[in-house]
Structure formats: structure tokens, C-alpha cells
Amino acid sequence: MRKKVIIIGASGHGKVVADIIQKSGDILLGFLDDNKSLPDQLSGIPILGTVNDYKKYSQAKFIIAIGNAEIRERISKEVKTDSWYTAIHPNAVISKLDTRIDQGTVVMANAVINPGAVIGKHCIINTGAIVEHDNTIEDYVHVSVGAKLAGNVHVGRKTWVGIGATVKNNVSVCEDCMIGAGAVVINNIVEKGTYIGIPARIV
Ligand SMILES: CC(C)(COP(=O)(O)OP(=O)(O)OC[C@H]1O[C@@H](n2cnc3c(N)ncnc32)[C@H](O)[C@@H]1OP(=O)(O)O)[C@@H](O)C(=O)NCCC(=O)NCCS
């Protein structure tokens, strides 16, 4: 049966999530967003109200389309529902061998998720990202556009892997890190912080 879906977060990222929902054949009802200066629609899709208005839509499933992991986590706790939508673009390549993708996560076009990869709640696996075999991606992680995680990589909660970044096989990145655009991570990261460059170093 076609699901009715509401996106929390009316932004550019929200539009990409909207496109996935429409391509998946589910019914997109609209956006919720606390920014009251927004118009009443985005790309022709209605903005239905603020986040708290989720209570009016008991039949709907929800997905949070907000890049900031702290805000994504906060909203996932404030919105009291078990009805989270997992958005998978029809052109994402996802192995059926021992993969798991938890609720509220979005997987965008041309992303690849290979066997044994386990992806937590409310993650973003962005356009063209590669999550290789046996990765463990914890809740609220964002793997940005074109980032590459080799085999057996572990990424801790709320870490953001920037656009085009690369993480070598068997490397672990702890929680709450920012891996800068184009960085190459070749050693385990055990200290929270921002890492840039090749090889990636803390700033
Ligand atoms: C790493 C990052 C978070 C730093 O942002 P910031 O704190 O605003 O840092 P600034 O832009 O002020 O740059 C500080 C210094 O770091 C350098 N720097 C910033 N990002 C860098 C990167 N990714 N690689 C190499 N150097 C970088 C800047 O050139 C600057 O150097 P300088 O002091 O010699 O002039 C940001 O640049 C970044 O890479 N973000 C990734 C965004 C992304 O992936 N978006 C995709 C969404 S799908």
C-alpha cells in the first residue's frame, strides 16, 4: 500500500528527499518547518505547518530532512512517533546480503551500500556515496555526496563525512566528528573534532 509521508524540514535537502518519495510511488503530503517566514509551498509541495503540527497527521509517516545532526536528533526525540519513513531512491544500489538500514534514514540516487553494511537511524547516505561491505554506520551520521567508505569502516554517531571524503578500509571514526570535504582518513579517529586534508588531521 502507498504510504502517506510528511517531510520535516523544507529546504534544498528536503526537496531531494521529496523527489525520492515521489519516485518511490508513495504519497507526499507536504513539509513541516518551524521557519515561519517560508512561503506556503516549496517546489509546488505544500508547507503544512510547524514541526509540532505532526500531531494532526496520525496516519502519516515522517522523515527528517535536516542536515544538522544535532537538530535531526532533537526532532527525532520531540516528535513522538514510531512511524518514521525510510527513503530509498529507486536508483540506489543496495545489497540484500546482510545489510540493514534503520528507520528515518535516507539513501539518495546512485548511492551504493554493499553486503554486511549496517546503517543506523536518521542517517543521510547522500547522492553517489559509497558504503562498502561490512561498514557500521551509527545513528544520525551523514555520508555526503560522493564520499567513499571502504570495507569494514565504522562511523560513530552524528559524524559528518564531507563531500568527496574517503575513509580507508578497517578504519574507525568516532562520534561527533566533521570530516572535511575531500579529506582522506587513513588512521582511526578517536577524538571528536574536525579533520581535513590528506592524510586527514585534526584542526
Ligand atoms: C572542514 C570544514 C567544516 C571547515 O569549515 P570552517 O570551519 O568554516 O573552516 P574555514 O572555511 O574557515 O577554513 C579554515 C581553514 O581550513 C581550510 N579548509 C577548510 N576546509 C578544508 C578542507 N575540506 N580541506 C582542506 N582545507 C580546508 C581553509 O582553506 C582555511 O585555511 P586557511 O586558514 O589557511 O585559510 C568545511 O570547509 C568543509 O569541508 N565542510 C564540508 C561540507 C560538505 O561536505 N558539504 C557537503 C554536503 S552534501
How far, in Å, is the centroid of ligand 1 from the Cα of 203?
10
For the chain, the average pLDDT equals: 98
Using the structure block, give the residue that is written with the C-alpha cell 534514514.
105
Tell me the per-residue pLDDT of 46-62, one tens digit each, with 9 for 90 and over.
999 999 999 999 999 99
What is the DSSP-derived secondary structure letter of residue 67? S
The per-residue pLDDT for 139 is 98
- Number of residues written out for the chain: 203
How far, in Å, is the centroid of ligand 1 from the Cα of 180?
6
Q: Which of 196, 201, 203 maximizes ligand 1 atoms within 8 Å of its Cβ, making it the mutation to test the pocket? A: 196
How far, in Å, is the centroid of ligand 1 from the Cα of 32?
31
**Contact partners, residue 53, CB within 8 Å, separation at least 6:** 32
The per-residue pLDDT for 170 is 98
Residue range(s) occupied by CATH 2.160.10.10 in the chain: 86-197
The per-residue pLDDT for 153 is 99
Tell me the per-residue pLDDT of 168-190, one tens digit each, with 9 for 90 and over.
999 999 999 999 999 999 999 99
**Relative to the CA of 203, which ligand 1 atom is closest?**
16
The per-residue pLDDT for 165 is 99
Tell me the per-residue pLDDT of 106-157, one tens digit each, with 9 for 90 and over.
999 999 999 999 999 999 999 999 999 999 999 999 999 999 999 999 999 9
Residues with CB under 6 A from ligand 1: 126, 144-145, 162-163, 178, 180-183, 194, 196-197
The per-residue pLDDT for 176 is 98
The strand pair at 154-155 and 172-173 is best described as parallel
Instruction: Indicate which residues carry an active-site annotation.
Output: 133
The per-residue pLDDT for 137 is 99
Does domain 86-197 match CATH 1.10.420.10?
A: no
> Which stretch of DSSP H or E encloses residue 48?
strand 45-49
The CATH number of 4-78 is 3.40.50.20
φ, ψ (nearest 5 deg) of residue 176: 55, 40
Tell me the per-residue pLDDT of 71-88, one tens digit each, with 9 for 90 and over.
999 999 999 999 999 999
Residue range(s) occupied by CATH 3.40.50.20 in the chain: 4-78
Helix (H, G, I), strand (E, B) or coil at 102: coil
Give nearest CA residue, ligand 1 atom 8.
180
Q: What would the grid cell of residue 186 be?
A: 587513513
**Relative to the CA of 163, which ligand 1 atom is closest?**
44
Q: Which residues pair with 132 in a beta bridge?
A: none
Give nearest CA residue, ligand 1 atom 3.
180
How far, in Å, is the centroid of ligand 1 from the Cα of 30?
34
Gyration radius (Cα) of the chain, Å: 17
φ, ψ (nearest 5 deg) of residue 31: -110, 155
Give the burial string for 82-119 (b: 16+ CB within 10 Å, else e).
ebbbbbbbeebebeeeebebbbbbbbbebbbbbebbbb
Q: How far is CA 152 from CA 33, 82, 98, 160, 186, in A?
A: 37, 30, 13, 18, 13
Tell me the per-residue pLDDT of 85-104, one tens digit each, with 9 for 90 and over.
999 999 999 999 999 999 99
